[in-house]
Amino acid sequence: MFPDMAAVFDEERDLATLVVRGAGAVVVVGDVWEPVRLVDSSGVVVGAVRAFLQDLQAAGRSGATQRSYAMDLLRWFRFGWAIDVSWDKATRVEARDFCRWLSLRRKPSPATGSGTRVARGEPNAVTGRPGPGGRYAVATRAHSETVLRAFYEFHREAGTGPIVNPFPLARERSGGRTNAHHNPMEPFRNERVGLYRPRVPRRIPRCIPDESFNRLFAGLGSHRDRALVALWVSTGARASELLGVRRGDFDPGQQLITVIRKGSRAVQQLPASPDAFVWLRLYQATLEDSAPAGPDDPLWLTLRQPRRPLTYPAARAMFGRAAGALGANWTLHDLRHTAAYRMARDPLVPLTDVQWVLGHAQLSTTQIYLTPMPDDVIAGMLAHYRRVEQDAEPPEPADSCADDTGGYRRAALDVLFGRQPR
């Protein structure tokens, strides 16, 4: 007998008064075999999540990706603990309620990456970028839905979870032939979208203006930080890619740096600016006799003794403090956007070369950086209006229209444009 689905969906859960406590945690282990763990309130590892993360590792996903997935799963498990429903007993009703709760609940106002606090959703006065909102961002919710659907699909196929995925695909998109009307000039789209996945608006990346970047760079407090920022803004490497380099990954003579690409894990050499290598050498001079200097030893270390590898959160906090001193909320990823814009705007650099440097799989992704910046468009149009006002004479009507037949009179135009009557 099939369950009465109408009765199932009629079960009302008071989400407005639901209290979801901060039980459990994602623990960064540091072990290459198990980078992260999800533990419950008693510190016991959640076996279902461990198996899923191990599967991700086997598929080549990095430790950072595993941590990101684990954070999404932690929200789901906290919700399940709050409503007293085990993960393997969850149905579409729980999935629906979780997505509703995630989209409507208010979260504590977090500190911004710049070390300042702004009103929820209020645009930054310098960058124009909105501050953290009072609710989870659309991109966060979309990523959460994707992770949870993959989590349950893994356990469904393994026979260790529900036989029906609580996070279904959209009904109107689940049938038919995928990419049946695909444009060969465009990348293939994933048309099988989750039912509860929100639409993520496409945002144009922002770069840091040159004048602002110079002020930000001048405020950095160490040669390490200057070398990092100079390399980020000249190579276009992702923050994690640059932080993962070793001492033997630099070739100053050829102005090259070797990184491991995020996602593909491909080893790639990237060119960098001469000044970046100058700052790098000054930083390396500060490490003499205070840190291991082997080619496989990490390059980026903490400034304080004992020296430890510099982590992404620490680098993000460093850059956030520098941006916050200018009242801005730029992020480390904005340095990559800045590098991309600089390269794409150089008429002597082919866009395919920019694609290769950035590591984009599709040229259409790189083409985003051909989009003019809003500030540049506004400044250009205002300059256009000034030129028109200064250089162009307003058109005068024909003599046949300078009468009472409905046309403009010459005297009226003289008054309108402040000219001397003729």
Which one has a higher pLDDT value, 24 or 416?
24
Other C-beta atoms closer than 10 Å to the C-beta of 66 total 22
CA 31 – CA 282 distance, rounded (Å): 32
pLDDT in tens, 181-217: 556 656 555 555 788 888 877 777 888 999 999 999 9
- Per the CATH hierarchy, to which homologous superfamily does domain 210-370 belong? Intergrase catalytic core (1.10.443.10)
179 and 189 in contact (C-beta within 8 Å)? yes
* The one catalytic residue among 50, 105, 261, 262: 262
CA 268 – CA 261 distance, rounded (Å): 7
With both helix axes pointing from N to C terminus, report the angle between 138-158 and 63-83 in degrees, rounded to the nearest 10.
Answer: 90
Per-residue pLDDT at 113: 41
> What is the mean predicted confidence (pLDDT) over 320-328?
93
Per-residue pLDDT at 6: 52
CA 371 – CA 11 distance, rounded (Å): 49
* The one catalytic residue among 136, 152, 283, 369: 369
CA 57 – CA 338 distance, rounded (Å): 32
- Is 56 a residue whose pLDDT tops 90? yes
Per-residue pLDDT at 393: 66
> What is the mean predicted confidence (pLDDT) over 86-97?
94
Q: How do the domains of the chain map onto residue ranges?
A: 12-174, 210-370, 375-416
CA 293 – CA 297 distance, rounded (Å): 6
102 and 141 in contact (C-beta within 8 Å)? yes
* The one catalytic residue among 135, 333, 345, 410: 333
Instruction: Give the pair of three-digit tokens for residue 360.
Output: 């984009």
Active site residue 369: yes
Determine if the pTM surpasses 0.85: no
Most confident of 180-184, 303-307, 345-349, 396-400: 345-349
Active site residue 360: yes
Per-residue pLDDT at 126: 74
CA 300 – CA 287 distance, rounded (Å): 10
- Is 116 a residue whose pLDDT tops 90? no
* The one catalytic residue among 37, 223, 238, 342: 238
Phi and psi, residue 29, nearest 5°: -80, -40
Other C-beta atoms closer than 10 Å to the C-beta of 218 total 9
Active site residue 262: yes
Per-residue pLDDT at 192: 57
What average pLDDT is seen over the chain? 84
pLDDT in tens, 295-315: 899 999 999 888 899 999 999
Peptide bond before residue 306 is cis, with ω within 30 degrees of 0: yes
* The one catalytic residue among 336, 337, 341, 342: 336
Maximal C-alpha separation, the chain: 95
Active site residue 92: no
pLDDT in tens, 379-395: 889 999 988 888 766 66
